[in-house]
């Protein structure tokens, strides 16, 4: 238990530093393009965007996934499972949604535990055993408890702004009075989006490891989630699923596959093998 808390604290600290780095990168880009005034403008823009994300990120994620609310009459077993887990975790009951997709997957969204939702695909309810599904739902509740959904949305918003600025510089150039030389401008266009993507991916991977650990603690059995992850990976490879690139990081397993080597460096999710290894190391600690 103490090991899990220490791990979660370390992951939270790393995430905070990464978010600060992402925001700092945006401000530095502004300073390089137009000086201190532009840097301040970019900082204000980032704050406004994050405010919008705070209020609307859950609606955007659910709508982009085509998720529909499900009632307790439609899914009594899932409701009973979620109610049991939220009671054990001392959390409010989230809204439940069904994604009409056959790929087995799930995600959580919402700015706080009181305004949260868990969405599962039709495929996940067919593939997993009740014990495995319990592990998956515990993982999603961990994301809610850790407020990962808001963190991911903020990271995606700032990272998207940096990438957009790179495109703008590429097509329209910078201010003639900017201190940037032509070579520096080109380097900024190429490197800033890459740096932003790497930071976003680092945040996403840290939050997945942390949610796995907290989810195992909530459900009380790390093997439930470990077994589910192995089956979900195989299912997600076998059954394609269209998702918005901006929401891909929310899903418990990577919904889009393709490429090896360098492509894996830019994956939104850590390797399943490593997640399973860490979960199985937790079994002695949780008994």
Residues known to be catalytic: 140
User: Residue 104: which H helix or E strand, with range?
Assistant: none
Q: How far apart are the first and last CA of the chain?
A: 10
Distance, in Å, from the CA atom of 103 to the CA atom of 255, rounded to the nearest integer, reads: 8
In this structure, which long-range contacts are made by residues 268-274, counting pairs with CB atoms below 8 Å and at least 24 apart in sequence?
268/201, 268/204, 268/205, 269/204, 269/205, 269/208, 270/205, 270/208, 270/209, 272/229, 272/230, 272/233
Q: Residue 259: phi, psi to the nearest 5?
A: 90, 155
């Amino acid at each position: 238990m103490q090991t899990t808390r220490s791990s979660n604290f370390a992951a939270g600290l790393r995430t905070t530093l990464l978010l600060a780095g992402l925001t700092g990168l945006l401000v530095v880009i502004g300073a390089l393009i137009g000086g201190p005034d532009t840097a301040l403008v970019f900082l204000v823009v980032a704050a406004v965007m994050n405010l919008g994300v705070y209020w609307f990120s859950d609606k955007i994620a659910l709508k982009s996934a085509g998720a529909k609310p499900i009632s307790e009459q439609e899914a009594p077993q899932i409701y009973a499972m979620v109610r049991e887990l939220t009671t054990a975790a001392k959390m409010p009951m989230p809204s439940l949604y069904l994604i009409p997709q056959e790929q087995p997957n799930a995600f959580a969204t919402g700015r706080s535990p009181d305004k949260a939702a868990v969405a599962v695909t039709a495929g996940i309810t067919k593939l997993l055993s009740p014990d495995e599904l319990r592990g998956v739902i515990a993982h999603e509740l961990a994301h809610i408890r850790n407020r990962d959904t808001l963190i991911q949305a903020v990271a995606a918003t700032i990272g998207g702004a940096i990438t957009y600025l790179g495109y703008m510089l590429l097509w329209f150039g910078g201010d003639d009075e900017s201190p940037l030389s032509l070579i520096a401008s080109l380097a900024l266009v190429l490197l800033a989006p890459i740096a932003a993507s790497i930071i976003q991916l680092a945040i996403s991977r840290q939050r997945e490891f942390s949610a796995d650990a907290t989810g195992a603690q909530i459900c009380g059995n790390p093997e439930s989630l470990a077994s589910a992850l192995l089956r979900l990976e195989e299912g997600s490879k076998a059954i394609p699923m269209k998702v918005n690139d901006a929401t891909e990081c929310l899903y418990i397993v990577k919904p889009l596959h393709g490429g090896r080597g360098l492509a894996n460096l830019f994956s939104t999710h850590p390797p399943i093998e490593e997640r399973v290894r860490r979960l199985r190391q937790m079994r002695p600690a949780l008994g």
